[in-house]
Amino acid sequence: MDAATLVLDEATKVYPGQDEPAVDRLSLEVGAGEICVLVGPSGCGKTTAMRMVNRMIDITSGDILIDGASVRDRDPAELRRQIGYAIQQIGLFPHLTIAENVATVPKLLRWDRDRIRARVDELLALVQLDPDETRDRYPAQLSGGQRQRVGVARALAVDPPLMLMDEPFGAIDPINREKLQNEFLRLQREIRKTIVFVTHDIDEAIKMGDRIAILRKGGRLAQYAPPAELLMEPADRFVEDFVGADRALKRLALQRVRDIDLWRAPLARAGDPVASVRAQTAACDLPYPLLVDEAGRPLGWLSEAALAGETVTADLVSDPQPIVELDDVLRDALSDLLQHESQYGPVVDARGAVAGVLSIEAIGHALRDSDAVPRAADAAVEG
């Protein structure tokens, strides 16, 4: 199923007996295949806003349109079967096997047994679980990260065009959370669903969101913008404070290593003539030659002794760590450099071959240059 568009049009929820609305005239447009993150302090109505979409909470006024059709006209149970739903505590059924859990919505839609079995295996593989090992186990037998994957698989079961996710990685430890986030982003590049994603964590919002809606208390929208724009041009003091004083640093999460100007380092293979390496060194940003293997993979930094003779010998002064990848975000790459107490590290492409060198200085340049609002400009064209 293709992704759906979602429009919230002045959607408002006032709970009976309360003067203040929980969500106040919230208007958002989410394009097909986009991740819209709802973020804000607790009590800002972000979960309420998400739950209005599948009518877990009915709106008091305004409207919500999926692919142009109002949710008000739909039977709630039938509507919910066509919207993926994943929540923080996952809510797997403890008395059912993993396969039965994943098959919940297909069963409600009365798929036949063979189709369900095939789909369950397909989904488990999609979320990186071994179907043969997982299928017949119970939730209590899985780790938190595995349960989370099952929750995502269950939400994707009938290939819904729209998904709602409420802090889906909230209950996971930080290391596994980052792994699951990356996995999910990779998955999303494949499946291209329209996703409403609720979190209280601004870092997660910046990482996951194509667009971020920051809500303030009382369910009012403070700003709705792509992450870069939010960081560069916060709409007001509230957004600025919520994004945090380190928003310049947070921008590092928006850029990947491949986006910035990398340094060139002289590359040498064992047996190369020393003269040509020296000539190359003069033309590069970095005066230290890097030894690579036949496939161009980094082996280490060469010592002076390696260049003493006619040809290059494999005499290293240090190993090539940290090796960063072109797809790493700058924040992670910088963290690697700092952790290795290194000024620079080789950058490799998907095959592992050296594509350049990343230095702390180059990151500094990128930060200064990014004041020109790189992704906000793109988004302005799209929007």
Task: List contacts with another protein (CB under 8 A).
Answer: 54, 56, 76-82, 85, 87-97, 104-105, 108, 138-141, 154, 164
126 or 274: whose CB is closer to another protein?
Answer: 126
What secondary structure does DSSP assign to 16-72, as a single string? TT-SS-SEEEEEEEE-TT-EEEEE-STTSSHHHHHHHHTTSS--SEEEEEETTEEGG
Tell me whether residue 141 or residue 343 sits nearer to another protein (CB atom).
141
Shortest Å, Cβ 89 to another protein: 4
How far is 136 from 142, CA to CA, in rounded Å? 11
Q: Which is nearer to another protein, 69 or 380 (CB)?
A: 69
Give the position of tokens 């380190």: 246
Work out how close the CB of 160 gets to another protein at its nearest, in angstroms, rounded to a whole number: 10
SS3 letters for 304-372?
HHHHCCCECCCCEEECCCCCEECCCEHHHHHHHHHHCCCCEEEEECCCCCEEEEEEHHHHHHHHHHHHH
Residue closer to another protein by CB (options 95, 368) is 95
Q: How far is the CB of 85 from another protein (least distance, A)?
A: 4
SS3 94: coil
Tell me the closest approach of the beta carbon of residue 144 to another protein, in angstroms.
12
How near is the Cβ of 262 to another protein at its closest, in Å? 46
> Do 179 and 207 form a contact (C-beta atoms < 8 A)?
no
Give the nearer residue to another protein in terms of CB position, either 77 or 275: 77
